[in-house]
A = this chain, B = another copy of it.
Amino acid sequence: MIPFKTFQNLSKDKQERITRIAVEEFSEKGYAQASINSIVSRLGIAKGSIFQYFGNKKGLFIFAFNISMNMVKDYLRTVRDQTRSENLFTRLEATLLAGVIFLQKHPVIYRLYIRIMFEYEIPFRNEILLSLREYSLKYFRTLLTDAAANGEIRAKLDIDKACFVLDAVMDRFLQAKILPHLDAGLGIYNTGEQEAREWIKELTDILRTGLGI
């Protein structure tokens, strides 16, 4: 949803501040539990203004969410393009590492993504999630197709299912960086970049060789 003209007439500073606080609120509380009251009191502006800028709660959410997801997509696209000449597993490592670094810089945005992923009654939830998943799968398929062309992966490998495994493992790893209960003592949650590199190396290794003898 496009914010109303009123919002676009604001100073870039104010626009940015409103967006940031809104993303924070939705990220901390999800959509239904997020409170316009809380947002305006954190912003120090009048409640009516939000409705003038975005029409309603839903409009604010869609706007804040789109902004956030575009940041993610921009970032991923950069990684993909910059590693084009590397082999698959190096690229996977680079992708995961890029995720870790993005997380450190924008923890709020990743949390927002997780909230939306697991909350039901969200405006345009289906469209949002479908678009995200397609983006992610396309990303991995590109990597695997490139790798197949270079003979880096087993010829008989089912690309779809391999995509699925990559998506599952890598998504879960990033989630465990910020959700302590997914870590449960494994040492992923809240650790530094160095520890993350070691985990990534090991995970990529397992993905390459599997568990069997």
Binding site for B on A (CB under 8 A): 28-30, 32-33, 88-89, 114-115, 117-121, 126, 129-130, 132-134, 137, 151-154, 157-158, 160-165, 167-169, 171-173, 176, 180-188, 199, 202-203, 206-213
Contact B161 A206 (CB under 8 A): yes
| Nearest chain B CB to A183 CB, angstrom units | 8
Copies of this protein in the assembly total 4
Which chain B residues border A162 with CB–CB below 8 Å?
A: 206, 211
A202 contacts which of B117, B161, B199 (Cβ < 8 Å)? Answer: B161
Which chain B residues border A152 with CB–CB below 8 Å?
A: 212-213
Which chain B residues border A154 with CB–CB below 8 Å?
A: 209, 211-213
A-B contacts, 22 of them at CB < 8 A, read: A29-B120, A115-B118, A117-B118, A117-B181, A118-B118, A119-B119, A130-B180, A130-B181, A133-B183, A133-B184, A151-B213, A152-B212, A154-B209, A154-B211, A158-B202, A161-B202, A161-B203, A165-B169, A167-B172, A208-B210, A209-B212, A210-B210
| Nearest chain B CB to A48 CB, angstrom units | 12
Which chain B residues border A119 with CB–CB below 8 Å?
A: 30, 118-119
| Nearest chain B CB to A25 CB, angstrom units | 12
Which chain B residues border A129 with CB–CB below 8 Å?
A: 181
| Nearest chain B CB to A125 CB, angstrom units | 8
Which chain B residues border A165 with CB–CB below 8 Å?
A: 169, 203, 206-207, 211
Q: Give the distance in Å from the alpha carbon of A29 to the alpha carbon of B122 in the complex.
A: 11
| Nearest chain B CB to A45 CB, angstrom units | 14
Which chain B residues border A199 with CB–CB below 8 Å?
A: 161
